[in-house]
Amino acid sequence: MIRAREVAVQTRTKIVNAVRGMVKSTGHRLPPSSTVTFARKATEVCPAVLQPALVPLIRLIQTLTDEIEAYDRLVVETARVYPETQAIQTIHGVGALTAVAFVLVLNNDGQRFKRDSALRRWGLSLASHG
């Protein structure tokens, strides 16, 4: 689930960048927007000459956005199944996605984090910061 979400996010990013590049190559620009609102905003201002090429890509971006949101809901549901994720989420900057990924890795390979250096690869540390 987490890797599938990552693939969806990376794919959406590539398509968003491609759409922006194609629009820019014709001398136009799309307005700044989050990836969540990109499809709607791009559809509203897409140059008519590019619509046959870009509208299918913009629809694909919206589909990927919907699927990413579904993955996010699944991550939150999964976090409820693993109560230890709640403690991990008390760390500043750690949300359900990182907590679930961390717990699932630990459940599959408990020996993986014997040293603090292994945790740092995840952006975490055994040392306390105050």
pLDDT of residue 92: 87
pLDDT of residue 75: 94
Residues 6+ apart with CB under 8 A from 6: none
Token pair recorded at residue 84: 């230890």
Task: Give CA separation, 33 vs 40, 44, 62, 118, in Å.
Answer: 10, 12, 13, 36
Helix pair angle (2-24, 51-81), 10° resolution: 160
Q: In the chain, where are the structural domains located? A: 1-81, 83-130
pLDDT of residue 103: 87
Alpha helices in 25-127 (DSSP H): 35-45, 51-81, 84-88, 96-108, 116-120
> Of 15, 12, 76, 67, whose CA–CA distance to 85 is shortest?
76
pLDDT of residue 105: 80
Per-residue pLDDT of the chain (130 residues; tens, 9 = 90+): 899 999 999 999 999 999 999 999 999 999 999 989 999 999 999 999 999 999 999 999 999 999 999 999 999 999 999 888 998 899 888 999 999 988 888 776 556 566 667 667 766 665 555 4
Burial class of 11 by CB neighbour count within 10 A (0 to 12, 13 to 18, 19+): middle
